[in-house]
Amino acid sequence: MKIDLHQTTAFTDQKPGTSGLRKKVRQFQQPGYLENFVQSVFDTIGDVSGKVLVLGGDGRYFNREALQIIIRMAVASGIARLLVGQNGLLSTPAASCVIRKYKADGGFILSASHNPGGPEEDFGIKFNLANGGPATETFTNSVFECSKKLTAYRIADISPIDIDTLGSRQIGPTTVEIIDSVADYADLMSHLFDFKLIGSALRSGALTICFDAMHAVTGPYARRILEDRLGAPHGSVINAIPLEDFGGGHPDPNLIHARQLVEIMQRPNAPALGAASDGDGDRNMVMGSRFFVTPSDSLAVIAANLSLLPGYRSGLCGVARSMPTSQAVDRVARAVGIDSYETPTGWKFFGNLLDARKITVCGEESFGAGSDHIREKDGLWAVLFWLNLLAIKKKPVSDILREHWSNFGRDYYTRHDYESIESAKAEDIMAHLRSQLAQLPGAEFGIYRVVLADDFEYKDPIDGSVTEHQGIRVIFENGSRIVFRLSGTGTEGATLRIYIERYERRASLHDQETQVYLSDLIAIAESLSQVHQRSGMSGPSVIT
Ligand code: VG1
Ligand code: CO
């Protein structure tokens, strides 16, 4: 076997964002682009010979080619064992599960998550560490530094490996094992949830579900777990075949992009639970019949009820949410008497808290929830939680939410996204907001009086690392908040996200229309940021 030390020219734009390196497919197809990044990861790890790595992706366009390149580079660098998902597929949560189960040293997940796929769309690569979680900021910063100086990468001259047939083969120093993408993950789920109870409710028809896999990676997982294992009728999983372009849609489970599911959940005979997940299977959207559950509320309901389920009977040790996520989960933590933590956006910030057993559950407003069972957010896990809860409570999703609000109060919450703004204009909006921070405390806007305005900074309580500029927070006396931040996952221009929330204790006011209830705060957010004038957009492109 010939190993080539291939001379290369460094790229200057390989800084991973909120979750891995995401670029247009065309950029990834440039000679050396993927190779340089992978070599920079290997160089950051140090001596990779003898290590065990996991490899898989969400099946999007360029997944298979990228996989073959990484296999050749792993062989060239002396990786001892490479576990590859069959057909090149591994959902992000399944990759995390496999890394932990087989005590691998890390893994590559090929995905741009909820971004669209296809030759003109997006590709991405994430590296996870031995705990199964996304690489820390320290690690990704050093990958970026390496990538800027890289002069050569190592690659083996071998023909493509069959990644569709299970089994293992020896290639030079490396045992390449093609593993069942679903089995280990399904097995883990069966230990966390009451499969017997959920199964009998689904088989009898007492409980019904429609799961929209959005032609992304969760199709095979949902079919195997919900239909084959738990006995939901065939067809309960829709759009179940992973496609390279996700059927032309955005594999982003929200009210706009999961339109087919939303339509099904409006029908008079809608299933009890509607759910969808994203490109790489780590996000979830949950709906009841004609009832949308906000991710922040879903997280709070999970925290309040998780200890009813088999894998969590010993209770929760703490919870965490990303800063822009609503404070609903904090109220549950206070009631139960456990700690709640506030972290920057991105799952990598939960890893230390989970490893140190400070938290059991964590989540983000962006349709992400998970627990200490792995180190990634987990779409199907959240859906199984809801199925299990519905099987126990035997009530509609809407009743569960209303009861939750009457116990804890309701945190009205919305996110307004202004997508594809020119980067300079987006930076200008953020600079304009920053320039007001010093004067804001004490300022009054109608009934709202500002008590704190800052650019969120996080000090990790475990390793002491400090992460700055994680979003502008404007917090009011009554606990209402407005948060502004720029997305770190886009591949074109910039996206401004404005997060708005207000707490309502009175049960008589729990049935308001969110956009109406929050209209004062929305207007304050628009005037503080001058978003319309400065972006040239008359309104948000997506409202969640
Ligand atoms: C978005 C979400 C964030 C999430 C990230 C990765 O990041 O807001 O909460 O962790 O996507 O999710 P940003 O920087 O665009 O706001 V996924 O499912 O794309 O891996
Ligand atoms: Co994702």
Confidence (pLDDT) at 464:
93
What interhelical angle do 397-408 and 328-336 show, nearest 10?
70
Question: Cβ(254) to ligand 1 under 6 A?
Answer: no
Confidence (pLDDT) at 493:
84
Confidence (pLDDT) at 441:
95
Cross-strand bridge partners of residue 339: 318
Rounded Cα–Cα distance for residues 48 and 424 (Å): 40
Question: Cβ(346) to ligand 1 under 6 A?
Answer: yes
Q: What is the pLDDT of residues 169-178, one digit of tens each?
A: 999 999 999 9
Residue 107 has phi, psi (to 5 degrees) of -170, 155
Active site residues: 113
- H or E segment and range at residue 211: strand 209-212
> Under a CB-based contact definition with an 8 Å cutoff, are residues 246 and 116 in contact?
yes
What interhelical angle do 379-393 and 195-204 show, nearest 10?
70
Query: Concatenated DSSP letters for 424-473?
Result: HHHHHHHHHHHHHTTT-TT-EETTEEEEEEEE--EE-TTT--EE----EE
Strand ranges in 289-445 using DSSP code E only, listed in sequence order: 291-293, 318-322, 339-343, 361-364, 368-371, 410-421, 444-445
- H or E segment and range at residue 139: helix 137-149
Please choose, from the candidates 252, 12, 19, the residue with its C-alpha nearest in 3D space to the C-alpha of residue 125: 19
Does the structure show a pLDDT above 80 at 86?
Answer: yes
Confidence (pLDDT) at 443:
94
Q: What is the pLDDT of residues 329-358, one digit of tens each?
A: 999 999 999 999 999 999 999 999 999 999
> Under a CB-based contact definition with an 8 Å cutoff, are residues 145 and 312 in contact?
no
Question: Cβ(378) to ligand 1 under 6 A?
Answer: no
* Banded model confidence at residue 18, pLDDT cuts 50, 70, 90: confident
Question: Cβ(282) to ligand 1 under 6 A?
Answer: yes
Reduced to 3 states (helix: H, G, I; strand: E, B; else coil), residue 63 is helix
The three-point CA angle 27-347-426 to 5° equals 55
Ligand nearest to the CA of 217: 2
What contacts 24+ positions apart, CB below 8 Å, involve 42-45?
42/73, 42/77, 43/146, 43/150, 44/139, 44/142, 44/143, 44/146, 45/105, 45/106
Structure tokens, 171: 């290639």
pTM of the model: 0.94
The three-point CA angle 108-494-500 to 5° equals 100
Ligand nearest to the CA of 491: 1
Confidence (pLDDT) at 341:
98
In terms of DSSP bridges, do strands 52-57 and 81-89 run parallel, antiparallel, or are they unpaired? parallel
- Output the CA–CA distances (angstroms, integers) from residue 409 to 297, 319, 369, in the order listed: 11, 18, 21
Q: What is the mean pLDDT of the chain?
A: 96
* Banded model confidence at residue 492, pLDDT cuts 50, 70, 90: confident
Does the structure show a pLDDT above 90 at 40?
Answer: yes
> In ligand 1, which atom is closest to the CA atom of 345?
9
Q: What is the pLDDT of residues 193-221, one digit of tens each?
A: 999 999 999 999 999 999 999 999 999 99
What interhelical angle do 379-393 and 295-305 show, nearest 10?
60
